[in-house]
Amino acid sequence: MKVLVTGGAGYIGSVLTPHLLSLGHKVTVLDSLIYGQAPLLDCCADDSFEFVYGDARDERLLKPLVAAADCIIPLAALVGAPACKRDAIGAVSVNRDAVVAIAKLRSAQQAVLFPTTNSGYGIGQDGIACTEETPLRPISLYGTSKVEAEQFLLESGEAITFRLATVFGASQRMRLDLLVNDFVYRAVNDRAIVLFEAHFKRNYIHIRDVARVFSHGIENYEGMKGRPYNVGLSSANLSKAELCEAIQKHIPEFVFSESQIGEDPDKRNYIVCNARIEGTGWRPAFCLDMGITELIKAYRIVKQRQFGNF
Ligand SMILES: NC(=O)c1ccc[n+]([C@@H]2O[C@H](COP(=O)([O-])OP(=O)(O)OC[C@H]3O[C@@H](n4cnc5c(N)ncnc54)[C@H](O)[C@@H]3O)[C@@H](O)[C@H]2O)c1
């Protein structure tokens, strides 16, 4: 397959791109490198890899790239509520309008696989897991822009959407703002954390399983298209406090407490049912404990050294 990945130099794309190359796909990444990042350098020796520097909103740029692809994975986005709040126009134009533009440029024979966030489920009902039929109630601009893009794609009947749980694990373009990555970083470096909304539950998924679910979607596209799929660890619908307990098993000195020091802009407090994606034969290969072990190792490499002599 010839795969076009917009935003492919980001946190997920930097793991997904080498994964797709390893399976024999030809991958073109379009990315404007908004964080000044330089991942994917190790892909450049591969003849099946192409990188285009540019903006995913530029239709003149998109047109020939979309035309040349069998499959398009639009990852480019301003990701997370704080980034979208800082640049509201950018959030709507990248997260929604650029995805709609891709959907209009491609033909029905070209596959689209789109990641959105399961934070659109917002405040869930106690003890009841959110399925793909549960109404979406996004609150932040990040949530609404992603949900609107997803709706447009699903209405065409010719796309797969993955409602990803909070992703964790190491990537060449590391993100420390994701819940598990953030908590393990604090546990390693500070040995302490103060939680707000400690009982709020979320679902989690390893970044390599995200790469694996995309290749599963490519391989099973005809049978899976036209529907959204929750993608998370059924073994990990955990509150923030339970997540900290899981980290404590690896770092016994780590302590945590709770105080009313903040509020989640997306009010994420829900448990998620992943039965639909599991019903397609897909299973995650990485559990939370494997991710915590990986992150502890990664944080021996990722250090904020620039403002200290030690
Ligand atoms: N990480 C998660 O937990 C998670 C969960 C659910 C959904 N997602 C979705 O997965 C996708 C990737 O997320 P990520 O975690 O890798 O984030 P990221 O911020 O690391 O990656 C986004 C990439 O998009 C690029 N980009 C932004 N604006 C662009 C533009 N106008 N033109 C071209 N490139 C542009 C950035 O340079 C970056 O490389 C996003 O669509 C996000 O909404 C992520």
- 219-236 per-position pLDDT tens digit: 999 999 999 999 999 999
State if residue 94 touches ligand 1 by the CB under 6 angstroms criterion. yes
Q: Which ligand 1 atom minimizes the distance to the CA of 146?
A: 43
pLDDT value of residue 304: 75
Rounded Cα gap, residues 151 and 293, in angstroms: 37
State if residue 178 touches ligand 1 by the CB under 6 angstroms criterion. yes
Phi, psi of 21 (to 5 degrees): -60, -40
Low-confidence ranges of the chain (pLDDT < 50): none
pLDDT value of residue 125: 80
Sequence-separated (6 or more) residues with CB below 8 Å from residue 281: 216, 220
- At CB < 8 A and 24+ separation, what contacts does 274-279 make? 274/203, 274/230, 274/231, 274/232, 274/233, 274/234, 275/131, 275/234, 276/131, 276/132, 276/227, 276/229, 276/230, 277/162, 277/213, 277/229, 277/230, 277/231, 278/234
* Residue 239 structure tokens: 């509150």
User: Over the range 277-308, which residues count as b (16 or more CB within 10 Å of their CB) and which as e?
Assistant: beeeebebebbbeebbebbbebbeeeeeeeee
- Report which protein residue has its CA nearest ligand 1's atom 29: 76
pLDDT value of residue 221: 98
pLDDT value of residue 308: 74
Phi, psi of 149 (to 5 degrees): -65, -45
Q: Which ligand 1 atom minimizes the distance to the CA of 34?
A: 37
This model's pTM is above 0.85: yes
| 164-218 pLDDT tens trace | 999 999 999 999 999 999 999 999 999 999 999 999 999 999 999 999 999 999 9
Rounded Cα gap, residues 7 and 75, in angstroms: 5
pLDDT value of residue 310: 65
State if residue 4 touches ligand 1 by the CB under 6 angstroms criterion. no
